[in-house]
Amino acid sequence: MFQESASLAAWKAKSFEFSGQGLLRFSYNHFAVHTVKAIYPGSFDPVTNGHLDLIARGAKMFDHLVVAILRNSTKAPLFTEAERVEMLTEGVRGFGNVSVATFHGLLVDFAREQKANAVLRGIRAISDYEYEFQMALMNRRLAPEVETIFLMPDAKYSFVSSRLIKQVFELGGSVDGLVPDFVVERLKQRVPHL
Ligand code: PNS
């Protein structure tokens, strides 16, 4: 039976004291501290309150969370890369352990470049699952050391997607409460005839 010494107990207590919001893992055999850095990738065209809900959950779980905007997507975005960075930077203000970046090419290459060990994705409904499952397993094949972690946003955002936000707004419907106010302002600038 492993008997914990007083000095080990004191060291662990001190380490937990400094762990902040992140998850620190302790290996009792090696006394190693393992930090978790996650990438939250997406198009974010534009960021929604569902995305921000997921970021808040991820910020509590991971030591560091990098929100990564895909550049050069085959989808023609409504907002430029710079606009999406500005909106997300505004959205994550207040989270000390969340940063915003852009990437192109393979997500797993970006994850390795960032020395990240996890990818965060949101699952809103069963309909998301098949695509997410395929991506997660392909990413695992490409980079087995990177784990994909799925979280659910609050149920009140389960129907919210960037695609529907753009469509509803362009057709004159209200998206208040589903995206931050600064996104509504950007949408008004981008779709000025409404
Ligand atoms: O917000 P989205 O559009 O659902 O995000 C999709 C994204 C950016 C996560 C995905 O398209 C992606 O990771 N693209 C990078 C290219 C890549 O790595 N493809 C292989 C993944 S299986």
Known active-site residue 124: yes
Q: Which one of the listed residues 64, 84, 124, 166 is annotated catalytic?
A: 124
Question: Is 44 flagged in the annotation as binding?
Answer: yes
User: Which residue minimizes the CA distance to atom 19 of ligand 1?
Assistant: 106
Percent of the residues in the chain that have a pLDDT greater than 70, as a whole number:
81
- DSSP helix/strand/coil, 98: strand
Is the minimum distance from the CB of 42 to ligand 1 under 6 angstroms?
Answer: yes
What tens digit of pLDDT does each residue of 4-49 get?
455 545 544 444 444 444 444 544 445 556 899 999 999 999 999 9
Residue 31 backbone class (left: φ over 0; alpha: ψ -120 to 50; beta: rest): left
CATH number of 34-190: 3.40.50.620
**First vs last Cα of the chain: how many Å apart?**
71
Q: Is 145 helix (H, G, I), strand (E, B) or coil?
A: coil
Catalytic residue among 14, 34, 71, 75: 75
Q: For the chain, which residues make up each domain, given as ranges? A: 34-190
Is 157 annotated as contributing to ligand binding? yes
- Of 117, 126, 111, whose CA–CA distance to 34 is shortest? 117
Tell me: the pLDDT tens digits for 89-99?
999 999 999 99
DSSP state of 82: H
| Stretch (H or E) spanning 51 | helix 49-61
CB-CB contact of 72 with 45 (8 Å) = no
SS3 104: coil
pTM of the model: 0.85
